[in-house]
Amino acid sequence: MGPAVRHLIGLALLAPLACAMFEDQAGKYDWRRTFIGAPTAAALHSRKPRLSVCTRPGVLATLNLRDGEVWWRHLLDDEGGVDGMAVIEKIGVVVTLSGGGRRLRAWDQLEGALRWEEAVGRGDGGGPSAMVDLVRNDGSADQPVVAVMAGREVKLFAATDGEEIWSAVVSDAPALDAGELGAGDGEIVAATAHTGSGRLRVVSLSVESGAILSEHSETLQQGLATELVIGRMSVGVLSSDYKHVCTTMIKGQQSATCTSVEELLPGKPRRGSLYQAGNRFLVALRGTENNIAALLPASGSSISSTQKYEGVTAATAVLTVDEKSLLGIVGSADDGQGIFFKMVDVTTGEVVHEEFADLHLHGTVGPTKHVESAFLGRYNRKDGTTGFRALLVGGDDSLSLIQQGQVVWSKDEALGSVQSSLFIDPPNAVPGVANLPKGDLLKKIKAQILSLKVQFSLNTEQEKLELMDMKQALSGKNAPLRDPNGSRKYIISATASGKLYALHNGDGRVVWSRCLSQAPFPNHVLLSRHSHDPNEAPQLLLVRLGGPGPSTILTVNAHTGAVSEETVPFGIQKIVQLPGVIRDGPAEQHMFLFVDDSSGYPEAYLSPNLPETRAWLKEVYKQIHFWRSDKGNGTMAGYGVVNGDVDATTGHVQLSDLWSLSFHSPILEIATRDTFDPVHSFVKILGDRTLKFKYLNPNTAFVASGPAFGVPSEELDRESIELTVTVLDTVTGRVLFRQVHRGARGPVKAVFSQHWIVYHYWSLKNQRYQMSAMELYDSGHQGISVLDVMLSEGPNETLSSHQPVPLEVLRSSYFVSNAVKTLTTTKTSKGITTQRVLIGTAADQVYAMDKRFLDPRRPKGRKPTEAREERLIPYSENLYMYPTMYATQNKDVLGLKVSGWCFVCRLKCECLWFMLASIAAT
């Protein structure tokens, strides 16, 4: 038997062990979802099906009013978010104020194009921001204008071209906490407040010239909330304890009158809001068990004699219809099923229109959320009468349009604020669900015929779409069950709005979701317990990082969403995953140290606090180390466990100081290795058959320090500007390597995987972005060849932080053209597949760069024989980004903030990657 035949037989015997994927599976994203976030302001067009909104994440968007489809959206990523929005239907523009009142822009409402942009130019650098749109008569025609409050100044701009018409100073206070603008008959009303002193100032300005028509100040003893409301004749403010509403006339010198609203909702309300209602005000109070709203009396009479509305959680702006001023109020229905929407005549307090709508979110488990805010619009019916519709924003970031008692459309925007995600395996079996879809024979034959037609370009566009639908229907990718290769996963995601989701990674659909009941909501997901028995569901921990104690720890069944709560008396500022598990039959229990440093010194608590975990910690406590940093002061400190004793009641663990380190400048970035970073080989085989041993100490950190980001370079001594990068051991605090980049500064982004580090920064000297790469090797073993290891045992010493080995650091630097938001890397189950560095660009796209382009051993000049054998890419000082290597292809992930979470599959060459942005997920 010849050697070729023996090789073929060997390959045939190995065939059942081989795993692979189809070519069209690689590098393709499975699904993409886009979001806009929860609106803070909205305008419903009165004649055309347009809805313009600005949202909490800082997004400006226009939607189709008929179905909620997003026509266009822009992320206004100015610091401070969106301060105000006004839609001017006459000229078809949306005017936005953003960046803390510093940037005024006008956008085309239909297409989203930028019409003009102006810098408001506030001089105080702080204070409130507000905007109002109105009409100014320039002598020949009415001209739409917008008035802007920027700190202590009010400025008027033309809405057509952004030209500044006039500016006026409305307050002489050095610091302001709240401000609001209102429009009257030929005048602009500006109200400012200083909550600390209770001082309220009201100024009336002429629209034509900006001259002050009237002004007066009041000092209120009740204390002011930061919410001011300007009515037609007066200014209202809610006290900080939500027990009084104080009003003062816009014109005149009458003293402010305060009305007690304490009897509306006995006890301390959790929240209160004030709304303008023509000549009156509507106050809405929210308690623990019930909510109520009331129209304030026109005179100083008692609140008991006015109209009250039970269950109200939100109200709209006033709308004038047939010379009547109408106000919309929204709340939960008496039976708890759905919501009510009522139109109230603010003059009489009578309900003139009432609707009920069912807003149940399908798939949601847990307590229902109330409506947080509402926006009113009107339209003309076919019979000539006026109809009303309302855009409702739920406390769970749901967005719904109701009209004539029906929910026209509903959108769930909570996934636009994902804060933490985790991939887990789905159940092995679900009652009534087949593992693979069953298609009939004729359907499969038709799919094969369509596939051939597409392959030979004989298809129509309709046949291509039909084939895609048939492939989706016949594929088992979206089955909600576990598969042998581990490609099907549930993505458990916690959002800022207090919702927990399980998404199927095949198509992004929601498997289950849960509304968490009590704020502050958790923002971090941990795997607490998993089992090798496929029928046992993994258990997750949901915790909140940051903030003082007490804290609530949630335990979640990952397959069903069932939640149990535990309250602990401490806060959680850092989570340390311990390097071991407790085995309970087929299950493995992970352990954590929750660190609370709110008192200035860290206190650690063991979780879960069980006899088994306490006994385990007692045995291995000398191996437990962690660190914490103060980036602003440029310091790091390391800690260890003293004796392994754990308090059986609280789980408290005593700590000791191990080391501290000062970098003498702010810390810009810290990157560490993943505890479970898979490594295929501990050596690199060179072209001359010698070995380089990788430095794979998991207790290694990369630290970049330099001038603080945000400080202009002009304010610094250019000769002393430098970026220092340090590689240190986190057990002993020993500095292993340090390099100084002179004439460079942040922002810095870095990724640390296996034995290599890649970081991105700005070079002032070259006025370009640069990216540098490091590879760490053990230089204590030189000249060892593959043959030496085969004929002898080779080096077999145990790596220890207390006995460091000499380190060899290979380095290289490159110019890159893109600013970078995030850096991370791919990883696979065995670490065999070549890694790719995932670069999140400033354009909200992700580029997958092959790690071989960042190899410090790339040869310069003529390529030697050893480099050709290793297939090293010749060095070039520029790193080019090829269009075909963008993982997001021609899409963007608006508001990209994390390049992605990568999770390994059982298939050794496959990883799953979930990208996160402030308003999108892929």
Domain 263-412 indexed as CATH 2.130.10.10: yes
Residue 150 in this model has a pLDDT that exceeds 50:
yes
77/644: higher pLDDT: 644
Q: How high is the pLDDT of residue 640?
A: 93
Residue 557 in this model has a pLDDT that exceeds 90:
yes
The pair phi, psi for residue 714, each rounded to 5°, is: -65, -25
Q: How high is the pLDDT of residue 234?
A: 84
Mean pLDDT comparison of 188-202, 393-407, 733-747, 888-902, highest-scoring range:
733-747
Pairing of strands 510-515, 364-365: parallel
Q: How high is the pLDDT of residue 24?
A: 46
How far is it, in rounded angstroms, from Cα 151 to Cα 146? 16
How far is it, in rounded angstroms, from Cα 693 to Cα 668? 30
Identify which of 677, 678, 682, 872 has the alpha carbon closest to the alpha carbon of residue 778.
682
Q: How high is the pLDDT of residue 901?
A: 62
How sure is the predictor about 12, in pLDDT bands with cuts at 50, 70 and 90?
Answer: very low
Q: How high is the pLDDT of residue 451?
A: 85
Query: Around 601, how many Cα atoms within 13 Å sit in the side-chain half-sphere?
Result: 4
CATH 2.130.10.10 domain range(s) in the chain: 263-412
Mean pLDDT of 527-540: 90
Q: How high is the pLDDT of residue 653?
A: 94
Side by side, the strands of the sheet bearing 846-850 are 820-825, 836-841, 846-850
How sure is the predictor about 2, in pLDDT bands with cuts at 50, 70 and 90?
Answer: low
10/736: higher pLDDT: 736
How sure is the predictor about 884, in pLDDT bands with cuts at 50, 70 and 90?
Answer: confident
Q: How high is the pLDDT of residue 13?
A: 35
Lowest mean pLDDT across 173-187, 268-282, 892-906: 892-906
Residue 554 in this model has a pLDDT that exceeds 70:
yes
Lowest mean pLDDT across 283-287, 413-417, 508-512: 283-287
Residue 774 in this model has a pLDDT that exceeds 70:
yes
Q: How high is the pLDDT of residue 443?
A: 79
Mean pLDDT of 863-872: 81
Lowest mean pLDDT across 64-68, 123-127, 302-306, 840-844: 123-127
211, with CB counted inside 10 A (0-12, 13-18, 19+), is exposed
How far is it, in rounded angstroms, from Cα 559 to Cα 480? 10
Lowest mean pLDDT across 156-165, 575-584, 785-794, 855-864: 785-794
Residue 6 in this model has a pLDDT that exceeds 50:
no
Integer CA distances (angstroms), 490 to 138, 513, 516, 559, 911, in order: 61, 12, 19, 8, 14
Q: How high is the pLDDT of residue 842?
A: 87
186 with 221: CB under 8 angstroms? Answer: no
Residue 397 in this model has a pLDDT that exceeds 70:
yes
Residue 295 in this model has a pLDDT that exceeds 60:
yes
pLDDT, tens digit (0-9, with 9 covering 90-100), for 322-349: 778 888 888 877 666 678 888 888 888 8
What's the token pair of residue 724?
């220092």
pLDDT, tens digit (0-9, with 9 covering 90-100), for 590-615: 999 999 988 888 999 999 999 999 99
What's the token pair of residue 490?
């549930």
